[in-house]
Structure 1
């Protein structure tokens, strides 16, 4: 590193740090409010005062709401969507990229679907789940989040498959491997970073979903994103409880992304650089 590049790197680091702080200010504010007493919150006090854990106790069920079940529903929905998306996207993308099944049409259609706003699918999904008897069910929300995130998975996996030299598959075929063996034993280990990136993104998007949870659930399948609205009552908004619920609900996707960060970066960069 040259002497002239050090100041530039330092200023870049400072700029990125400032942007990171600004972007995360709402989260930091929610964290501060979650440990304030109701009196400090109502007065709009900027200082912390005496910290309290009452809001977290309420968020974990002390307020009379079944928040542990809300967290469980969110986990089941997110993990179920991840599993179903990978089960559909991996073979379908391989068929499109390597076997010529649908080819560019499938990838272009996936890109087009991903550009549409989620609200565009709300009414069709409601009618579909109603006809299937899956309203207010975890299975219905898993299917909805799968349909919504499948185009993104196909796009990322398509870039990953293109990066793998076709000579590896030809060599495996010469050794007697069939199509399924090539996919599962040769390609998927190479595409592990891309698979992790897809899993992380689908998990985060499914966990954070609010629109489809609002449209497709009412009580039994309520996830944590919708359950936090229980603290908006006829007597007022319980800001401390909502903030505590928000902090707790952000922990699983954040921890998931942190532990998978190395794979996430390499997976998202697949197809970006051509040798």
Structure 2
């Protein structure tokens, strides 16, 4: 009886805490379903007739190309994730197994994560202006690769340290070179590590706003920046902004929901030594 009561108390506490933490999200959902009159009503209306006019405005409003913004964000997040994996996996293998750059490269690369991203804004803008990469998705991809490589490298190193060396030594005895060991032995075993790096990189790249404001002027606008276009000189369209926000959080939310076990394992990799 006492255990049941304690379990119910814990459940109730978790529900209350989850509700408090998600009040902004709940408010965004309600706002996206209200009419303009209901949004501006005082006191706020908690009972109202739902409408989907704001979602229609976001998807089909003149001058607001949300599908293009969405495609830009998908291209940005997927490209960054794949390239970060492609760079961080062999780099981590070289550091952990071959000892290359263990004392210099690793501290330098991971130390970049300590700097606030804003300090790179002016150098990136000047460099991309010279290279013709302003207002391009490729430019945003390069920036996000630089920002997410330290995280990907740390996670990959943690996973590699947990893998036994015996399999690799057996492969070397059988005549495999370094590249064969990496791609035929290590790569299949690194599934959870690759998944966690890819998912986290996808989420961070999708949520990038700072460099989108600086680099993306029109053609490379992602959804994080596109949602702000409903702030006009005639007022703030709260309903449309809320609808755009809800649509823009669906991909990272689905990624997190279906791959949360990989995220937990990835974040705890290397934290316990056997």
Residues 148-167 of structure 1: matches in 2 within 5 Å? Answer: 148-167=147-166
- The 8 Å contact of residues 163 and 271 in structure 1, kept in 2 or not, is answered as yes
Q: Which residue does the alignment assign to 2:235?
A: 236
- The alpha-carbon distance between structure 1 residues 174 and 8, as it changes in their structure 2 partners (threshold 3 A), is farther
Number of the residue aligned with 1:38: 36
Q: Distance in 2 between matches of 1:180 and 1:9?
A: 52
Aligned residues: 273
1:126 aligns with 2:125: yes
Q: What are structure 1's unaligned runs of at least 5 residues?
A: none
Instruction: Return the alpha-carbon distance in structure 2 between the equivalents of residues 145 and 33 of structure 1.
Output: 32
SS at match of 1:254: helix
TM-superposed CA distance for 1:268, in Å, is: 1.8
Q: d(CA) in 1 for partners of 2:21 and 2:56? A: 28
Structure 2 segments unaligned to the other structure (5+ residues): none
Q: Which is further off, 259-268 or 133-142?
A: 259-268
Q: How does 1:5-154 map to 2 (within 5 A)?
A: 10-44=8-42, 45-154=44-153
Give, in angstroms, the shift of residue 207 of structure 1: 0.5
- Cα deviations by residue, 1:225-257 (Å, 9 ceiling, x for unpaired): 101111000110000000000000000001011
Counterpart of 1:225 in structure 2 is 224
Backbone CA RMSD of aligned residues: 1.7
TM-score if structure 1 supplies the norm length? Answer: 0.94
SS at match of 2:92: helix
Aligned residue number for residue 170 of structure 2? 171
Name 1:208's counterpart in structure 2: 207
In structure 2, C-alpha distance between the alignment counterparts of 1:229 and 1:20, rounded to whole Å? 27
State the TM-score, normalized to the length of structure 2. 0.94
SS of the equivalent of 2:119 reads helix
1:210 & 1:248 partners in 2: Cα distance? Answer: 16
Q: Distance in 2 between matches of 1:13 and 1:272?
A: 29
